[in-house]
Amino acid sequence: MNSESCAYIDESMRVGAGLYVLAAAVVPNHQVGTYRAALRALLLSKQPRLHWRDERPKRRLEIVYALAELSLDVIAVVGTDMQSSKQKRARRKCMDHLYWQLAQRRVPHVIMEGRGQAGNKQDLDMVNALRAQSALPDEMRVEWADPLCDELLWLPDILAGVIATAATGDTELLRIIEEGVIIDRLRCG
């Protein structure tokens, strides 16, 4: 396994457009400090964290240009045709595919943005089911964290937002960072 990196994962949904996006930013361990410093430098006064949905268009552009300075390694899965009543199903399909991608790349450690006790349990059940099917290596460590405690979780939040925006037709921001971004699409409907 590639013991020198960690994947940070978050989601974005566009229910009206039938989209579910799961993005993983793979960060080399030797660049963790650089990435954290770059993300903290983007905070505004009294802002506890970066959160894509809270940012205005001009600020989003500023953030994306700052991320373009980093050596991004991103894997995203865009689930299409998601029915609003089937969000859990879309998440499972996207997680299955994203974890398969991470396993193929031999990423040994994954940190997902926590979704509360019940949401984390659902994700853990999915991880355990993938392990039982030998679709996920036993060595891959998966855990959940709070974005207020780990600023590296801001990165997939931003990336998922950029990719979801592009999937709905506005590709301006994605074009700025598209080098190093792999996007797979799958039908969730």
- Split at pLDDT 50, 70, 90, the class of 91 is confident
For 27-54, the pLDDT digits (tens) are 999 999 999 999 999 999 999 999 999 9
Burial of 156 (C-beta count, 10 Å sphere; 0-12/13-18/19+)? buried
For 122-149, the pLDDT digits (tens) are 999 999 999 999 888 989 999 999 999 9
What is the rounded average pLDDT for all residues in the chain?
A: 93
Looking at the predicted structure, is the pLDDT value of residue 183 above 80?
A: yes
Check which CATH number belongs to the domain holding 39 and give it: 3.30.420
Looking at the predicted structure, is the pLDDT value of residue 85 above 80?
A: no
Q: Which domain holds residue 69?
A: 5-187
**What is the reported pTM?**
0.95
Please report, rounded to a whole number, the percentage of residues in the chain having pLDDT higher than 70.
98
Helix (H/G/I), strand (E/B), else coil: 47: coil
- Split at pLDDT 50, 70, 90, the class of 2 is low
Instruction: Count structural domains, the chain.
Output: 1
Going across the sheet that includes 19-28, the strands are 141-145, 109-113, 5-14, 19-28, 74-80, 181-187
pLDDT in the model for residue 1: 46
